[in-house]
């Protein structure tokens, strides 16, 4: 009687390998699906996940930030100079990078650290006493852009960022990573009605200037007050008509090149530089 194991041909072995490979791929996809599901659920109890060395360092240094949990690699813990993790006022898990990958997704640059924390509480619009430079966003929804705008705003000494309660990105790891720590350094005010908020800013002595590529005058020639509120609209559609009708003035950034507009985060940086130069000369 022949031995079945020895009677297998090279062709049989080839198909067996193909079947095993197919089975492994199927199991991996199923596992990835479960992992994606866990990622999509996010943290519970209204917490946000923030990651990246600059983001987490700024959160640790912010007395207003309430951190509930940290996952960190040994290397990241050393770079953050955490000292003894057990001495921190919240639970800390020392993990491998792949444990954080499973929460953020493999494309997120978490640099080996992730925290779960309570979102910062937005302040009311009336909390602007002494502010000289404010940035207002009219339904800018991309968290990468808003994060980059926050970073520029902090760099140029903006006193507050005003956004709408709807049609604006909520606090998230993506926004915080793009802000590179700036999320912890700027007062974030949310309003329900932007037109009413602009009227309130005007009544408080702010010149509200909407940035528009077809504005009647250059931005530098438009400044005319000791308090400035720059208003920028969303990518593509720009300022809404109601916003255009409400601001004190519309102004443009002159572009000598073939392209007459900038990404909203770049436009914010350029206009903030111009505003800071003007205010510094007063």
Mean of all residue pLDDT scores within the chain: 86
Hey, which of 37-41, 86-90, 265-269 has the most confident mean pLDDT? Answer: 265-269
Strand ranges across the sheet with 206-211: 187-191, 160-164, 133-138, 227-233, 206-211, 249-252, 217-218
Give the pLDDT of residue 4.
Answer: 46
CA distance from start to end of the chain: 103
Q: How confident is the model over 97-146, as pLDDT tens digits? A: 999 998 988 788 999 999 999 999 878 787 888 899 999 999 999 999 99
What number is the average pLDDT over the span 11-17? 55
For residue 50, what are the contacts with CB-CB under 8 A and spacing of at least 6?
56, 59, 114, 115, 117, 173, 176, 177, 183
DSSP 36-69: HHHHHH--STT-EEEESHHHHHHHHH-TT--EEE
Cβ atoms within 10 A of the Cβ of 94, count?
A: 13
Top-confidence residue, 227 or 165: 227
Count the residues in the chain: 282
Question: Burial of 98 by CB count in 10 Å (0-12 exposed, 13-18 middle, 19+ buried)?
Answer: exposed
């Amino acid at each position: 009687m022949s031995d079945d194991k020895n009677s297998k041909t090279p062709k049989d072995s080839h198909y067996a390998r193909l079947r095993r490979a197919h089975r492994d791929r199927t199991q991996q996809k199923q596992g990835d699906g479960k992992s994606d599901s866990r990622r999509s659920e996010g943290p519970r109890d209204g917490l946000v996940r923030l990651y990246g060395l600059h983001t987490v360092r700024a959160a640790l240094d912010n007395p207003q930030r309430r951190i509930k949990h940290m996952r960190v690699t040994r290397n990241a813990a050393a770079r953050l100079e955490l000292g003894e993790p057990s001495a921190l006022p919240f639970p800390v898990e020392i993990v491998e990078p792949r444990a954080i990958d499973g929460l953020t997704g493999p494309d997120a640059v978490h640099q080996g650290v992730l925290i779960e924390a309570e979102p910062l509480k937005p302040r009311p619009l009336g909390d602007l006493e002494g502010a000289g430079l404010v940035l207002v966003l009219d339904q800018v929804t991309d968290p990468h852009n808003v994060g980059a705008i926050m970073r520029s705003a902090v760099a140029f000494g903006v006193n507050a960022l005003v956004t709408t309660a709807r049609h604006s990105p909520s606090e998230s790891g993506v926004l915080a990573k793009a802000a590179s720590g700036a999320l912890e350094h700027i007062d974030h005010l949310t309003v329900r009605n932007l037109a009413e908020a602009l009227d309130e800013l005007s009544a408080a002595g702010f010149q509200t200037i909407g940035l528009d590529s077809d504005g009647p005058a250059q931005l530098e020639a438009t400044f005319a007050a000791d308090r400035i509120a720059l208003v920028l609209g969303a990518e593509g559609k720009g300022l809404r008509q109601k916003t255009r009708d409400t601001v004190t003035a519309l102004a443009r950034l002159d572009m000598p090149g073939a392209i007459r507009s900038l990404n909203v985060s770049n436009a914010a940086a350029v206009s903030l530089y111009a505003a800071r130069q003007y205010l510094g000369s007063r």
